[in-house]
Amino acid sequence: MKRPGADSIAHYLDPDRLPVSSWWSRKHAHTQRRLCGRFAAPVIGAVACQDIKTELRLPRFDGQG
């Protein structure tokens, strides 16, 4: 079964994936959830993890392309 990229994002944001000593601060966790929801999820959320390639890179917002 191919899993969607949204599963990969959910795993990344799951606080239980890290040991307690490496947990993110609440502010950092909030920022990561917001950024993933705004930028990563629209690009890779529905794409199968196996199909995520370099060509699906997130667009740059610094004027560099």
Counting Cα atoms < 13 Å in the Cβ hemisphere of 20 gives 0
Calpha distance 50→57 (Å, rounded): 14
Segment 26-44 mean pLDDT: 93
What's the pLDDT score for residue 33?
A: 95
Global pTM value: 0.73
What is the domain partition of the chain in residue ranges?
Answer: 5-56
Give residues with Cβ within 8 angstroms of 36, minimum separation 6: 9, 12, 13
Give residues with Cβ within 8 angstroms of 50, minimum separation 6: 2
Instruction: Characterise 63 by phi-psi region: left (phi > 0), alpha (psi -120 to 50), beta (else).
Output: left
What's the pLDDT score for residue 14?
A: 95
Give SS3 for 40.
helix
